[in-house]
């Protein structure tokens, strides 16, 4: 069973994105382990003396580096991701690189009818930044629109078609995770062979 890190893009109480990441954790319980991290107590990012990280950041970075992949649920604020999620990425790319080549699945929930398409597009570009260098699948965004009415009292998505859509995307994501793992192995072998050639020369 694969192990994933779940990140909610907001710290707001009652957030539907927090509901979504918990739904994903529970929905996948028989297929994957999703560990939801908490970055709500991290300070606003600013450069620190000697690049020191706030308490808890390195522990989360280590979990991300060790995980098979990451699942993120982001709201959309002013056509982009919220400050809380930007802050999380700022600390997790400050002298450390836990997302390097890490497969990431992007999801999001929004009160409106258009979902979180713009925020997810911006998030995809952020994840592609050299300091982060994560890997995402093309055309794989999962969006929950009108999210205030999307969940039942147990936190499950009401719409069976939406659940089916998530299951299809997650199945594709798992294949993507396997492919990225194989690619990493090939790269390691290639680097080792190149090192041997260099030593021989």
Q: What angle do CA 54, 59, 63 make, to 5 degrees?
A: 140
Q: How confident is the model at residue 199 (pLDDT cuts 50, 70, 90)?
A: low
Domains of the chain in start order, with CATH, are: 2-200 (3.40.50.360)
In the chain, DSSP assigns E strands to 2-8, 32-36, 69-73, 103-109, 135-136, 142-144
Q: How confident is the model at residue 193 (pLDDT cuts 50, 70, 90)?
A: low
Q: Can you give the pTM of this predicted structure?
A: 0.92
SS3 state of residue 107? strand
Please give the pLDDT value at position 196: 61
Q: How confident is the model at residue 197 (pLDDT cuts 50, 70, 90)?
A: low
Task: Report the distance separating Cα 74 and Cα 8, nearest Å.
Answer: 6
Which residue is it, tokens 């999380």? 88
């Amino acid at each position: 069973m694969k192990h994933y890190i779940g990140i909610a893009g907001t710290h707001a109480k009652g957030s539907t994105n927090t509901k979504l990441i918990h739904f994903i954790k529970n929905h996948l319980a028989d297929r994957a382990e999703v560990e939801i991290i908490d970055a709500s107590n991290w300070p606003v990012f600013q450069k620190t003396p000697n690049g020191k990280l706030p308490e808890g950041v390195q522990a989360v970075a280590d979990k991300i580096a060790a995980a098979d992949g990451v699942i993120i649920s982001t709201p959309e604020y002013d056509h982009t991701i919220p400050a809380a999620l930007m802050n999380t990425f700022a600390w997790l790319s400050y002298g450390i690189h836990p997302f390097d080549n890490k497969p990431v699945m992007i999801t999001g929930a929004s009160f409106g009818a258009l979902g979180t398409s713009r925020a997810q597009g911006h998030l995809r570009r952020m994840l592609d930044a050299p300091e982060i260098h994560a890997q995402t699948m093309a055309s794989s965004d999962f969006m929950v629109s009108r999210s205030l009415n999307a969940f039942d009292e147990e936190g499950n998505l009401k719409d069976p078609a939406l659940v089916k859509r998530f299951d299809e995307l997650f199945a594709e994501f798992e294949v993507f995770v396997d492919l990225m793992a194989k690619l990493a192995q090939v790269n390691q072998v290639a680097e080792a062979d190149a090192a041997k050639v260099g030593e021989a020369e």
